[in-house]
Structure 1
Amino acid sequence: MTAADRFFCAEAARTRADSLAGTAPYGSVWVLVEYRGGWPPNGFDGLDLDPDTKGLVFSAAQAVRARVLLIRRHGRNSPEGPKRWAVLHYENSGAYRQQWGTWSRDQDLAQVAEALGAPGELGCPPVVLVCAHGQHDTCCAVRGRPVGRALSERWPDLVWECTHVGGDRFAANVVVAPDGVYYGGLDAASSVAVIEDHLAGRIHAEYLRGYTDLFPPQQAALSAVLRRFGPAGRHDYEVVETSREDSRWRIRITGRSPRPTAFDVEVHSHRTPPYQLTCRGLSMSSAAVYEVTSIGVG
């Protein structure tokens, strides 16, 4: 098979014009484990670690629905010495907490389980995660690594490459944590502009997949508000009410002045025809789509 004959899920998604809005997975806790060697296709689960420690971390993460990601600096240019780990928490109040540590032996990762039950520290800068997990999906490497390089050159202390974050067909995917904001369809130039705006409190709809503390129809509704009324900060809008009737959702969003104080957004959900959604997955699957049909202001 030649390169021209290969299937790339991100190219196919762009050809179909797959919608980004409403595709961020739900969650508010992240576990990051620095690993400088090759990443197995299934990430942390595939590491050859002490089984008792690995089981302890997995169970503690599962109990709070935390996503466990392997991380490394772009190009694997990490300094010598102990590797780092982190537990990141996003709170409904808008505050977020982080706890960082180091590990040299497998058993050191038991600290992760303890940190998952601790409050963590306020005031740490956000973490910018770029999915570059080529062993999981080709597009994540082909599209993710140039983005990782561009962002690392601009913010070397904030940016890490990471394992699978979901939505391979939207590569390059970038997650700002623990804000819980997913961006997709990025390249080197657009990623720098998007993260620069994000850090300045301006989230745009163009590359936004969603906020991870919201469910997909809520994410789509908020994205539509941002698209119509312009960029806003992470906490400038709040979903205050959600109702559903069959495949239709009605979502009320309130905003801070000087924006209109409330919006009633109607969302219709449907499924696409079956497609090949990942580079490596040969089976055909349909995807849920959340289409905004109206936005009422008042």
Structure 2
Amino acid sequence: MLGTASPTRAWLLVEEPGPWGAGGVPESRLGPEVTESLRRTASALSARLLLVRRPGQAREDDGVRTLFRVTCTRGRERVLVRTCAAADVAAAAADDDGWTERPGNLLLVCTHGRKDWCCALRGRPVAQALAALAPDDVWECSHLGGDRFAASVLTLPTGWTYGRVDATDAVDLVAATAAGRVLPALARGRCSEAMVAQAADVHARLALGVDDVAALRPVAARRDGEDEALWHVDLADAPASAAPGGVLRVTVRRTAGSEAALLTCGAAQEQHPPAWDLVALVARQLPAG
């Protein structure tokens, strides 16, 4: 799963209780004109658009919608929120006024069954288990990507994305997110980083037992001069015992993947999805000055 979080540094989340239809940004009761307006707003914000809804059984529609603007860039993470009438969603999303900062975290679980049925089958029990622990923070969401890793969970505003989450992981996931920690064994990567940096980050966390969400900040990534499949990624803010006064250099190799798999639950043929293998993990001193 390492290095598979869809790279984006911002999100526009729009509540639509459902049902959701097909498509990466699904058809819904919003209609094509409102959906296209939301797409344009998201593009102007350099954000990715998701539809969200509360977990569980369909609730009575009160005509009020919740919207979020989320920034995942390191050091500038924040969640802005506002509400509006259902008929005013497009205008409210585009309006820069009327937003307030929301403390804490959001936990989004992909349950977009019309995109891939396994996301609904595996995602809904996870969403319900999380909501039982943190009801104000948990939302079902439309397509996150990486359907084969269902259930997928996105934690905001850090952008950490998890895969193959089970309902039994709910307690650990809620506790870790609230405490500013990562669960490396379930991590796909941090969406604000490039995929190679995501992979290097998670490999280092698994090897060193690092779970602090603020640790292991990518500062450089480059291809090897002789082998283009090799990448060298430098990570700062590492534990002092691992890289005293310097950085961790993580070398990873991009491969075709050793095991064939169905890339979606509805796929008819197995393929070899790309993977990032750990080659080396070395502490390096920073140059003086």
Describe the superposition over 1:225-272 as per-residue Cα deviations: whole angstroms up to 9, x where unpaired.
111221322212211111113111001111255443321110100123
Unaligned runs of 5+ in 2: 285-289
- Cα distance in structure 2, aligned partners of 1:256 and 1:122: 30
Contact persistence 2:38–2:49 (CA under 8 A): no
Moved more, 66-75 or 40-49: 40-49
The 3 A distance-change label for structure 1 pair 48 and 190 is closer
Contact 1:204–1:227 (CA<8 Å) still a contact in 2? no
Aligned structure 1 segments of 4 or more residues deviating by more than 4 angstroms: 77-80, 118-123, 256-259
CA-CA distance at 1:284 after TM superposition:
5.2
Residues 257 and 250 of structure 1: CA distance in aligned 2, closer, same or farther (over 3 Å): closer
Query: Which secondary structure state, in structure 2, belongs to the residue aligned with residue 74 of structure 1?
Result: coil
Could you say which residue in structure 1 is the equivalent of 2:53?
A: 72
Provide the C-alpha distance between the structure 2 equivalents of 1:185 and 1:265, rounded to a whole number of angstroms. Answer: 25
Q: Is 1:160 the equivalent of 2:139?
A: yes
Could you say if the C-alpha distance between residues 57 and 150 of structure 1 is closer, same or farther in structure 2, counting changes exceeding 3 Å? same
One-letter amino acid of the structure 2 residue matched with residue 210 of structure 1: G
Cα RMSD over matched residues? 2.3
| Cα offset, 1:29, TM superposition | 1.2
Give 2:267's aligned residue. Answer: 281
Match for residue 232 of structure 2?
A: 250
Tell me what 2:198 maps to: 219
SS of match in other structure, 1:46: coil
CA deviations over 1:76-125 (Å, ceiling 9, x no partner): 454642122222122332432423222321x432211234xx79654522
Q: Tell me whether 1:172 sits opposite 2:157 in the alignment.
A: no
Comparing 288-297 with 150-159, greater Cα deviation is found at 288-297
Structural mapping, 1:33-112, within 5 Å = 33-42=14-23, 44-49=25-30, 51-78=32-59, 80-81=61-62, 82-105=64-87, 107-112=88-93
The C-alpha deviation readout for 1:35-82, integer Å capped at 9, x for no partner, is 122111226441253554332221121234422111111114546421
Structure 1 residue corresponding to 2:172, chosen from 169, 193, 203: 193
Q: TM-score w.r.t. structure 2 length? A: 0.87
Per the normalisation by structure 1, the TM-score is 0.84
Worse-matched range after superposition: 173-182 or 85-94:
85-94
Question: Which digits, 9 at most, give the CA deviation of each residue in 1:126-183, with x for residues without a partner?
Answer: 1100111111112111111110110000000000111110011001110001211100
Higher helix share: 1
Aligned identity (percent) is 28
Aligned length: 276
**CA distance in 2: counterparts of 1:51 and 1:251, whole angstroms:** 42
CA separation of 1:119 and 1:182: change in aligned 2, threshold 3 A = farther
Name the counterpart of 2:126: 147
